[in-house]
Structure 1
Amino acid sequence: MAKAKNDSLFSLIKSLTQTEKRHFRLYVKRSGNTQDVKFIKLFDAMDGMKNYDDKEILKKVPSIKKIQLSNQKAHLYRQILSSLRQYHISQNIDIQLRENLDHAKVLYNKGFYKQALKMLDKTKVLARDTKHFTIALEVMEFEKQIESQYITRSIENRAEILTNEVLDTTDIIKSSHQLSNLTLNLYSLFLKKGYAKNPQEFEEVNTYFQSHLPKVNFDNLTFYEQLYYYQAHVWFNKIVQNFPNVYKHSLAWVKLFQSNPEMIIKQPVHYIKGYRNLLGSLFQLQYYSKFCEVLAEVEALSQDKKVIQNLNTEVLVFQFLYISKINKHFMEGSFDEGVEIIPELTAKLEKYQYKIDPERVLMMYYKIASLYFGSGNYRKAIFYLNQIIFYQDVKLREDIHCFARILNLIAHFEDGQDYHLEYQIKSTFQFIGKMNQQQAVQKEIINFLRITGKITPDQLRDEFIKLYNRLQPLSEDIYERRPFFYLDILSYLESKIKSIPVKLVVQEKFDGLK
């Protein structure tokens, strides 16, 4: 399995659909008889294998010598990519634009300067109409090259017109890059540090955001400038925990696409991510009715072939659709029903294992563990929490690592594994200390678990009440409430105080909100 994972050609072949494979075979046949073409035999051999194995390939294709295998694989890889490029060209306007630019280059090299300019002009108009301004600028640079070398007399005042077009397009690209860079850096900051934990961190991210946000006239912004503007605001407000504003800008992000339906087809990934942030904000706000309304839209979206165009968009929708389904069970307190989707979820995780980044996998494991915890299956919760705890890169989503350890402590306590509890407490406290994550909530929980072995069972309820009273005010403190996004500790404590399952406590709260 390790070789299959690491071999790029094998992974590419296994990702092909039946129609893509059929197109590839037709593509290579155009060159003539393919009976003796080695790379075709190599393709057939690898297509029929479950796992990648060099030795097995050499047995199946004896015409390829061991010393030739590397070159044949490289050649096959290029041929498949060329075939895929041709197959998907009608679905990707940027590929069409690049092809037109290549054709213009051929005409230029043959000395047909006016024909080349005509091709470039059509390409430039299409690039601007479809918001591909970087390609449009590349086209203009080529136009400048032709106009500066040859007297074409194509249009009067051509130099002035072309110069102004370049300046206008450059301004658009510069603004778009400023906004997209800001978005990317804020997203990276969120992955590294999570939510702002104190006034200092709030001030740092606020200063960074305000100093890097370009001054814009919103009415004159292009589609992409508006998109990056909304994205930057979503990530900033998420970090500072201003969830009403996250909702506001996520909704504007989605509506931007719905007002420009042609862009949904051209940029489905951005459209899907808009919905992901919209659903996430509604969950944080506990806006159940709107959450269900948007979730239904996403369910329909997941079946729309115009949006789910390829494996990339299929996996993207899968990730946040299942997270949202789990979040719905969290709001309802329907943990028992929630665990029923886990086999389907884990099967898809296995199917897409090489297509999902580790950060998303860790989040899914945490959600699965929380479902099992809510349903009272602490052993299963511990199993999935361990998938996070023993993940090598603890710097990836430190917040998830932190709260996985906290929930793991409580799961061990509930499961009666007291013999592991002392070690778990010490290990977790050290881990949190190193990560500078010792907020009041974590300290209170760990200190409580430390004393559980020293008190009698009849004293336990009073200690739960004391802990609840200490934590409840923290849930309303903007810098201390972050743990409650990951761990509904107050509902858990209520369940212990009332001696009822935690799911009943959540269900009572849910009934009160409806």
Structure 2
Amino acid sequence: MSNYNKDSLFSLIKSLNRSEKRQFKVYVHRLQINTDAKFLLLFDALDKLEEYDETIILKKKITTKQQLSNLKAHLYKQILVSLRMSPSQQNDRMQIREQFDFATILYQKGLYKQSLKILDKAKFQAYELEEKAIAYDILELEKIIESQYITRSISGRADQLIQESEELTLQNLQTNRLSNLSLKLYSLLLENGYAKNEEEINKIKNFFLEETKEINLSDLKFKEKLWFYKANVWLAMLIQDSDYAFEYSKKWVELFYEKKERIQQHPVWFLKGHTYLLKILYLKKNSEEFKFWYEKLEKSSLDFPTTDNVEALWFVTKFNSKLNYFFINPKENISPFLIKDILREIKIHQRKIDNHHILILYLKIAAYHFLNKDWENSFEYCQKIIHSDFYIQEDLHFYTYVLIMMNLYDSGNDLELDSYSYKTHQFCKKMKNNNSITRKISLFFIELNDLYPQEKIKAFRDLDKFLIEAESDELLRRNTNYINLRRWIKDKI
């Protein structure tokens, strides 16, 4: 996994497609004076590099080391201005903002009626798309114009603007409160992980109830409902209530199907909703529902806007879902070209997605090879995770070790199994969030190689019994879903 993020300018240039690079050149050459501009020479030099290397740039003598920082900042700005003008980068929000900027220019030129006319159209569009924050900015400029100049635009205009402003303030306050709640719960999930006991569950639930006690769902519009459903999904995942998570992730997705035009306007949140819905259906092992919602998403993907962000997110969701469906239904045939497709797409999208998602795909590829008794390839992809240069979440790290030991046991590599069982046990002891399952599994593999054949059957039976009991505990159930350890144990019994 190459790290394109060492330099922000380099990473921006590498994100450009051919069309965007061509447009940048056209934009720069609109002025004859820019033909041999230093920032254009710097652009060409960086574009040819595979990895960012400042020494190579300085050797080309485009600029001095002291001036390089300013030249890079100037080039960065020019690229963004060029992209801002690109039709492919336009969306409804940007178009409304553009109209607002035009109205501001007209206001500053003293052309007040023309400014108000543009503002009125932009505000109508903002209301239609529920872009309330932008609508509020438009209202503020309208009030400035009306209060400073005698426009005689509409009788009773002041009262109308005051009423609109008060209504928008209340709506924005509601949206802000729900978005803050959603963000807070999501940050808790990332920082602290899942609730570990009843005390933590009750604390999270009480916090949520306090923050939502004045919410009336029937009063909420699209965006407020979206934030409310998202907050409920984060809550459900924090307290590990899969039925609750399914209910609200489904509502999240259905909200978009009720207003299909919103899919084009907010494709990321539409995809995110499906991602969580499919993830929960995978954890619940609900094959029929999983297939239904994935096929519905795949059909909707034909209408997605073609932006880098959406394409990268769709790549992650699509291939995760295909692999998850295979794990629910291992007897289903899966194309042998799927893994090649995934690896090819990883190379295309690696700079646009975080490394954790790539490592998760590697674990699923390793599990796929393991189920097909291809222990060599399975072991290879586990190694890619273990020896990654990037941060690895400890639960992903632990279950990668477990899959390695399953590989080594099945392939008869007893010597390596001893080595990895010790490494896993040492890692388990250092884990921040280790629990009875991780400790039990760790000790099981430590002891496995020292047992006689007749003793191994009993050890496998004991571990299977323990995992069955652990699965009845909602707080521990999720731990057994990374890899199908129980299926492997049953094969051994």
For normalisation by structure 2, the TM-score amounts to 0.90
- The answer as to whether partners of 2:264 and 2:305 remain within 8 angstroms in 1 is no
Which range is displaced more, 249-258 or 487-496? Answer: 249-258
Q: How does 1:373-412 map to 2 (within 5 A)?
A: 373-391=370-388, 397-412=393-408
**Counterparts of 2:263 and 2:308 in 1: how far apart (Å)?**
16
Deviation at 1:318, TM superposition (A): 0.4
Q: Paired residue for 2:94?
A: 95
> 3-state DSSP class of the match of 1:479?
helix
- The answer as to whether partners of 1:5 and 1:11 remain within 8 angstroms in 2 is yes
Equivalent position to 2:365, from 368, 374, 381 = 368
- Letter aligned with residue 144 of structure 2: Q
Deviation at 1:87, TM superposition (A): 1.0
1:353 aligns with 2:317: no
**Counterparts of 2:469 and 2:63 in 1: how far apart (Å)?**
71
Which range is displaced more, 38-47 or 161-170? Answer: 38-47
Deviation at 1:117, TM superposition (A): 2.4
- The answer as to whether partners of 2:312 and 2:352 remain within 8 angstroms in 1 is yes
Q: Paired residue for 1:261?
A: 260
Deviation at 1:362, TM superposition (A): 2.8
**Counterparts of 1:63 and 1:401 in 2: how far apart (Å)?**
45
**Counterparts of 1:393 and 1:196 in 2: how far apart (Å)?**
26
1:485 aligns with 2:481: yes
- The answer as to whether partners of 2:249 and 2:274 remain within 8 angstroms in 1 is yes
Q: Paired residue for 2:295?
A: 296
Equivalent position to 1:461, from 457, 476, 490 = 457
**Counterparts of 1:398 and 1:90 in 2: how far apart (Å)?**
38
Cα separation, partners in 2 of 1:268 and 1:2, compared to 1, 3 Å: closer
Cα separation, partners in 2 of 1:2 and 1:322, compared to 1, 3 Å: closer
**Counterparts of 2:442 and 2:65 in 1: how far apart (Å)?**
59
**Counterparts of 2:284 and 2:156 in 1: how far apart (Å)?**
57
- Letter aligned with residue 451 of structure 2: I
Q: Paired residue for 1:327?
A: 324
Deviation at 1:124, TM superposition (A): 1.6
Deviation at 1:134, TM superposition (A): 0.7
Per-residue deviation, residues 301-356 of structure 1 (Å, max 9, x unmatched)? 44x2x414211111000011111111111111249847752232123223222211
Q: Paired residue for 1:278?
A: 277
Per-residue deviation, residues 67-108 of structure 1 (Å, max 9, x unmatched)? 554433322222221111111378312212222222222122
RMSD of aligned residue pairs (Cα, Å): 2.9
Q: Paired residue for 2:15?
A: 15
- The answer as to whether partners of 1:326 and 1:338 remain within 8 angstroms in 2 is no
- The answer as to whether partners of 1:193 and 1:397 remain within 8 angstroms in 2 is no
Which range is displaced more, 209-218 or 406-415? Answer: 406-415
1:435 aligns with 2:434: no
Aligned pair count? 493
- The answer as to whether partners of 2:320 and 2:361 remain within 8 angstroms in 1 is yes
- The answer as to whether partners of 2:28 and 2:35 remain within 8 angstroms in 1 is no
**Counterparts of 1:245 and 1:273 in 2: how far apart (Å)?**
17
Cα separation, partners in 2 of 1:197 and 1:365, compared to 1, 3 Å: farther
- The answer as to whether partners of 2:195 and 2:201 remain within 8 angstroms in 1 is yes
Deviation at 1:206, TM superposition (A): 1.8
- The answer as to whether partners of 2:194 and 2:239 remain within 8 angstroms in 1 is yes
**Counterparts of 1:100 and 1:437 in 2: how far apart (Å)?**
51
Q: Paired residue for 1:132?
A: 131
- Letter aligned with residue 322 of structure 2: K
Per-residue deviation, residues 357-382 of structure 1 (Å, max 9, x unmatched)? 13322322222222233223334334
Per-residue deviation, residues 93-129 of structure 1 (Å, max 9, x unmatched)? 2212222222222122222233322222222221111
**Counterparts of 2:416 and 2:3 in 1: how far apart (Å)?**
37
- Letter aligned with residue 8 of structure 1: S
Q: How does 1:115-264 map to 2 (within 5 A)?
A: 115-213=114-212, 215-264=214-263
**Counterparts of 1:190 and 1:335 in 2: how far apart (Å)?**
34
Deviation at 1:160, TM superposition (A): 2.7
Cα separation, partners in 2 of 1:212 and 1:100, compared to 1, 3 Å: same
Cα separation, partners in 2 of 1:73 and 1:333, compared to 1, 3 Å: same
**Counterparts of 1:37 and 1:438 in 2: how far apart (Å)?**
58
Query: What 5-or-longer segments of structure 2 have no aligned partner?
Result: none
Consecutive aligned runs of 4 or more in structure 1 exceeding 6 Å deviation: none
Deviation at 1:22, TM superposition (A): 2.8
**Counterparts of 2:335 and 2:234 in 1: how far apart (Å)?**
29
Q: Paired residue for 2:313?
A: 316
Which range is displaced more, 457-466 or 33-42? Answer: 33-42
Q: Paired residue for 1:43?
A: 43
- The answer as to whether partners of 2:6 and 2:52 remain within 8 angstroms in 1 is no
Deviation at 1:212, TM superposition (A): 2.4
- Letter aligned with residue 116 of structure 1: S
Cα separation, partners in 2 of 1:362 and 1:335, compared to 1, 3 Å: farther
Question: Sequence identity of aligned pairs in percent?
Answer: 36
Deviation at 1:494, TM superposition (A): 0.6
**Counterparts of 1:187 and 1:251 in 2: how far apart (Å)?**
18
> 3-state DSSP class of the match of 2:475?
coil
> 3-state DSSP class of the match of 1:483?
helix
- The answer as to whether partners of 2:29 and 2:35 remain within 8 angstroms in 1 is no
**Counterparts of 2:384 and 2:126 in 1: how far apart (Å)?**
46
